[in-house]
Amino acid sequence: MMTQALRFKNKVAIVTGAAQGIGEGVAIALAKEGAKVILADRSDLVDDVAKKLGKLKAKSLTVKVDLETYAGASKLISEAVKAFKKIDIIVNNVGGTIWAKPYENYDEDQIEAEIRRSLFPTLWCCRAVLPVMIKQQHGVVVNISSIATRSIHRIPYAAAKGGVNAMTASLAFEHAKDGIRFNAVATGGTEAPPRKIPRNKNKLSKQEEVWYQGIIDQTIDSSLMHRYGTIEEQVRAILFLASDESSYITGTVLPVGGGDLG
């Protein structure tokens, strides 16, 4: 076995959606294991994460971009290469359900917003980073998916994450020849502090609270362990796939949902 504390020594890693939640957890864990970390987010909250990495004496770079656009993804990759000359790892973590309700209650704009939020950042970042990793002839991409591909009250989000799974498998086929591995972690329900910036800024109606509770109940019921996981439990799986310990794994979606395979 490798010395775990040194798994990412001399590695350059990008983490998108790094300002809070799983993204923040991944960024801190990578830094603790020796990585130089690029923190990508569109929120100023990412500056607080950078301060935490500074206390660890880790080298980092903060890039504030909107990854729902290709221009934002391109800027992120350009800034990372400018600062560190290479990109060994990218963890594409941006995404998350905005509205929770039966599909017939979504309007057109909401459906498009869900897809932009939970599919396009991964599509754009994979496209933007590929030329760099092809030139290097190595790289690791870990896309954050979800077991919500089989769930209730979030069909557009499920469709977006199904797209993440499909592109992960297909990109692995295309680019194994270039020494690039693509995998995904399908996260299950995860206990996390309340979001500092909610995805949906509007207060939920009584009916929306019922629909959201339906997601929680279904998630717990579908898990063989009948509980939510922790951020740390998700981070461990993500770091495994980002590390050389998973060197013979590509094109795989790893469910981390207490037995719920999504």
d(CA 5, CA 137): 25
Helix or strand (DSSP H, E) at 12: strand 12-16
Which ranges of the chain does DSSP label H, i.e. alpha helix? 21-32, 46-55, 70-84, 108-118, 120-136, 155-175, 206-222, 231-242
Residue 157 falls in the annotated catalytic set: yes
Strands 229-230 and 190-191: parallel
Catalytic, out of 70, 106, 157, 248: 157
3-state secondary structure 53-115: HHHCCCCEEEEECCCCCHHHHHHHHHHHHHHHCCCCEEEECCCCCCCCCCHHHCCHHHHHHHH
- Catalytic positions are 157
